[in-house]
Amino acid sequence: MNASRPPLTEPQLAALAKVACGIETAAAVALLCGPAGVGKTTVLEQLASDPRLAAADLPIRDVAGWLSTAGDLPAVVLADDAHLASERDLAQLLARAKACRPAAAVVLAGQGRLLTLVARDRRIEQAVRIRVPLLPGSLADTATLAAATASAEGPRFADAAILAIHEIAGGVPGDVVRLTELADLVAPAVVDGLVTADTIEAVHRRLTPQAA
């Protein structure tokens, strides 16, 4: 397997730029929402080391982790899995960030339930400056991710195999990476060193329970 970090997809790059812009002012709150595997944590990791922000190597914690942290909050609070928090905890985190001098910006990343939680509390909803949806990638993104994930010494992936990966994964980066890794495991068994669409379908049926 390729051990380096996979490249960002176009939707991830767009989301990164929008969130970074949205939290340029103190006390700004940004929502980063998308389904599991689409790359919310990946975007947060990029933000954590973004030189445009006030500090480098910002920590990433869930909401409960931030609430249990003693001392001052960083200039930018990166909260992952915010959809698992309660409305009360979200409100407490935003209130704590606002009480900082200067007020801290907050990025709340989570799945769709996060939007529901925000809508239920007028104080939270009014604090949100920008909502950024994170969508699945394109076929070109899938091809780039598959190339970055597969072993350099492994077999080649036919164009039809990349298309099969994209269709099965629905363009969700996490699923693209997992399916490519599974296909890479059967590399010694492929014919003529070429992974085909049939290979991808067989791997998906055999190793993915929900496809059975």
Query: Do 51 and 150 belong together in one domain?
Result: no
Domain boundary among 133, 148, 182: 133
148 and 129 in a common domain: no
SS (H, E, C) the chain: CCCCCCCCCHHHHHHHHHHHHHCCCCCCEEEEECCCCCCHHHHHHHHHCCCCCCCCCCCEEEHHHHHCCCCCCCCEEEEECHHHCCHHHHHHHHHHHHHCCCCCEEEEEECCHHHHHHHHCHHHHHHEEEEEECCCCCHHHHHHHHHHHCCCCCCEECHHHHHHHHHHHCCCHHHHHHHHHHHHHCHHHCHHHEECHHHHHHHHHHHCHHHC
Instruction: Tell me the average pLDDT of the chain.
Output: 89
**pLDDT given at position 41:** 96
Q: Which pairing describes strands 29-33 and 128-133: parallel, antiparallel, or unpaired?
A: parallel
Q: At what angle do helices 159-169 and 197-207 cross, to 10 degrees?
A: 30
The total number of structural domains in the chain stands at: 2
Listed in sequence order, the residues at least 6 apart from 70 whose beta carbon sits closer than 8 Å to its beta carbon are: none
Q: Residue 71: its pLDDT value, please?
A: 86
Of 71, 101, 133, which residue constitutes the final position of a domain? 133
In a shared domain, residues 192 and 126: no
Q: Which carries the bigger pLDDT value, residue 123 or residue 38? A: 38
Same domain, 80 and 179: no
> Residue 57 pLDDT > 70, yes or no?
yes
Q: Is the pLDDT assigned to residue 90 strictly greater than 50? A: yes
Band of pLDDT at residue 212, cut at 50, 70 and 90: very low
- Within a domain: 28: yes
Which residue range forms the structural domain that includes residue 146? Answer: 139-206
Instruction: Specify if 44 maps to a domain.
Output: yes
Model pTM above 0.85? yes
Q: What is the pLDDT of residue 93?
A: 97
Residue 115 pLDDT greater than 70, yes or no: yes
pLDDT of the residue at 1: 47
- Domain membership of residue 3 (yes or no) is no
141-194, pLDDT tens digit by residue? 999 999 999 887 777 899 999 999 999 999 999 999 999 998 887 766 666 778
- Both 181 and 159 in a single domain? yes
At 65, which CATH number? 3.40.50.300
Q: How many other C-beta atoms can be found within 10 angstroms of the C-beta atom of residue 159? A: 11
Out of 54-58, 130-134, 206-210, give the one with best mean pLDDT: 130-134
Q: Is residue 1 part of a domain?
A: no
User: Is 167 within a domain?
Assistant: yes
Which one of 133, 149, 166 terminates a domain? Answer: 133
Distance CA 189, CA 191 (A): 7
Tokens (6 digits) for 164: 């099969």
pLDDT, average across residues 55-66: 89
Tell whether 57 and 108 lie within a shared domain. Answer: yes
* For residue 102, cis peptide bond before it (omega within 30 degrees of 0): yes
At 208 the pLDDT is 65
164 and 105 in one domain? Answer: no
